[in-house]
Structure 1
């Protein structure tokens, strides 16, 4: 896989953080987080690795509520 995150350019080959992984009938499903905070679901099997789904980066609230 030679793709990069469309949000920040981080290489997809190097997940920033692995959140969860489990075996399925098609191989291994891995949930990971990119450096920008977006999440990915990738599937690794006999045919190689492919990204099934990709989320958007996390964003801090513009006006966080003040502590009371």
Structure 2
């Protein structure tokens, strides 16, 4: 996964604060919580929510389509 400082998904352009995205898991931390979520395009995201708000701190490329040929 790569670090990010953008405010939208580089794969589909959807703003990080907009839905739909699916929360896969949520974990409490000393300052808030960390979420693993999947963007509408399939990109896996790590979101941190704390006193500074919610932001995506890491994301992957979307998963390859099922049945797609490997290059």
TM-score between both structures, scaled by the size of structure 2: 0.75
1:38 pairs, out of 31, 34, 43, with 43
- Answer yes or no: is the 8 Å Cα contact 1:15–1:33 preserved in 2: no
1:59 matched to which residue of 2? 64
- Are the structure 2 counterparts of residues 27 and 15 from structure 1 closer, same or farther at C-alpha, using a change threshold of 3 Å? farther
Aligned length: 62
TM-score between both structures, scaled by the size of structure 1: 0.77
2:13 pairs, out of 9, 20, 37, with 9
Give the drift of 1:26: 2.2
**Ranges of 4+ aligned residues in structure 1 off by more than 4 Å:** none
> Which protein has the larger Cα radius of gyration, Structure 1 or Structure 2?
1
Give the drift of 1:11: 2.0
Report the Cα distance in structure 1 between the residues aligned to 2:20 and 2:37, rounded to whole angstroms: 6
- Are the structure 2 counterparts of residues 28 and 46 from structure 1 closer, same or farther at C-alpha, using a change threshold of 3 Å? same
